[in-house]
Amino acid sequence: MLSGISGSIPGSDGGASSAPRRMRITNMSALSQGLDTEKLVNANLEAAAIPLEQMQQHQADLDAKSAIWRQVQQKLDGFLKSAGNLHLRQDFSAFKSIVPPHSAFTVTPGPGASLGSYSVSVSSLARPGVLVSSGVADKDKTSVLNIPPDGAFSHATLTFLIGDHLVGGKIRSVRIDQSTGFTLESLAGAINDAHIGIHAMVMRTGAPGAPYSLSLSSTKNGMNFRVMEQEGLDFTFKTVQKASLAHLTVNGVPVQSESNDVADAIPGSVIHLRQTTGPTPTTASIVHNTKTIKTNVGAFVKSYNSLLDFLDKETRVNPATGQGGPLLGAYSVVDLRNRLGTVLTRPLPEKVQGKFRTLADVGITFQRNGHLSFDSGKFDKALASNYDDVVHLMTGQGATPGIVAGVHDLLMEFANPASGPLAGEISDINDQERTNVREMTRKQDELANLKDQLEEKYSGLQGLLGGLNQKQAYVQQQIARGVL
Lowest mean pLDDT among 18-27, 160-169, 234-243: 18-27
Q: Do 296 and 410 fall into the same domain?
A: yes
**Residue 163 reports pLDDT greater than 90:** no
Indicate whether 116 and 178 sit together in one domain. no
Residue 435 has pLDDT above 60, yes or no: yes
Domain co-membership, 165 together with 229: yes
**Full domain range(s) for residue 278:** 95-126+245-288
Q: Is 299 helix (H, G, I), strand (E, B) or coil?
A: helix
- pLDDT of amino acid 385: 93
Q: Residues 139, 259: one domain?
A: no
Query: CA 37, 43, 44 angle in degrees (round to 5)?
Result: 95
CA distances from 433 to 59, 422, 423 (A): 6, 17, 15
- 416 versus 21: the higher-pLDDT residue is 416
Tell me the pLDDT of the chain averaged across its residues.
Answer: 86
Number of domains observed in the structure of the chain: 3
Same domain, 390 and 374: yes
pLDDT band for position 443 (cuts 50, 70, 90): confident
Q: Look at residue 250 and give its three-state secondary structure.
A: strand
Tell me the CA distances in angstroms from 448 to 53, 441, 457, one per residue in order: 15, 11, 14
Separation of alpha carbons 207 and 227, rounded Å: 22
Beta-bridged to residue 271, according to DSSP, are 107, 262
In angstroms, the CA 448 to CA 305 distance is: 52
Based on the domain organization, do 199 and 318 belong to the same domain? no
Identify which has the larger pLDDT, 432 or 348: 348
CA angle 257, 258, 259 (to 5 degrees): 90
Distance CA 315, CA 298 (A): 26
Residue 404 lies in a domain: yes
Same domain, 147 and 195: yes
Could you report the per-residue pLDDT of 377-394, keeping only the tens digit for each?
999 999 999 999 999 999
Q: How far apart are CA 185 and CA 207, in angstroms?
A: 18
Residue 48 within any structural domain of the chain: no
| Least confident window among 253-257, 283-287, 434-438 | 434-438
Given a contact cutoff of 8 angstroms between Cβ atoms, the answer to whether 426 and 66 are in contact is: yes
The answer to the question of residue 475 being in a domain is: no
Q: CA torsion 148→153→156→161, rounded to 10°?
A: -160
DSSP-derived letter for residue 144 is -
How far, in Å, CA of 38 to CA of 34, rounded?
Answer: 12
In a domain, 482, yes or no: no
195 and 156 in a single domain? The answer is yes
Within-domain flag for 282:
yes
Q: Is 26 inside any structural domain? A: no
Q: Which residues are within 8 A (CB) of 461 and not within 5 positions of it... i.e. 6 or more apart?
A: 35, 37
Judgement on whether residues 299 and 410 belong to the same structural domain of the protein = yes
In the chain, the N- to C-terminal Cα span, in Å, equals 23
The 3-state secondary structure of 426-447, one letter per residue: HHHHHHHHHHHHHHHHHHHHHH
pLDDT at res. 425: 82
For residue 19, is it within any domain? Answer: no
Return the percentage of the chain with pLDDT > 70, whole number.
87
Residue 256 included in any domain: yes
